[in-house]
């Protein structure tokens, strides 16, 4: 499995659209994974259709055990999880990653009250 991740990293290093690649989920935590979750962080925000094309390009090139996602298309709570776990496989520009992190945290701040309310209701039934 490490070989396929290395191949993806090499591909991402050459791809001008990719800013970073992050590992998250069970594989990143050294648990028994069913698949390997990877997030591609793009250099520039793109329309949904273009992001989906980039994702499809990577999914078609690599093993089906890789669950490849575009960071901007993930739910906010997963984006926060990725930032907390901080398992970046490559980062091409640290300043841009800090900008992505800052904007994500800012976005989560406006969503957090709703998220906490939801969790409380789930807990209380």
Average pLDDT over residues 48-64: 92
Domains and CATH numbers, the chain: 1-123 (3.30.460)
pLDDT at 25 over 80: yes
**Mean pLDDT for the chain overall:** 88
pTM: 0.82
What's residue 33's pLDDT?
Answer: 61
pLDDT reported for residue 108:
82
CB of 18 closer than 8 Å to CB of 12:
yes
Compute the CA torsion angle 105, 107, 108, 113 (nearest 10 deg). 140
């Amino acid at each position: 499995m490490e070989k396929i991740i290395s191949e993806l990293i090499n591909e991402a290093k050459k791809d001008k659209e990719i800013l970073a690649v992050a590992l998250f989920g069970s594989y990143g935590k050294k648990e028994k994974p069913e698949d390997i979750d990877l997030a591609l962080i793009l250099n520039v925000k793109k329309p949904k259709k273009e992001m989906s094309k980039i994702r499809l390009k990577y999914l078609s090139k690599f093993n089906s055990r890789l669950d490849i996602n575009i960071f901007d298309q993930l739910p906010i709570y997963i984006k926060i999880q990725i930032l907390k776990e901080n398992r970046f496989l490559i980062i091409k520009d640290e300043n841009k990653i800090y900008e992505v992190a800052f904007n994500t945290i800012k976005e989560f701040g406006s969503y957090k009250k709703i998220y906490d309310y939801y969790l409380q209701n789930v807990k209380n039934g």
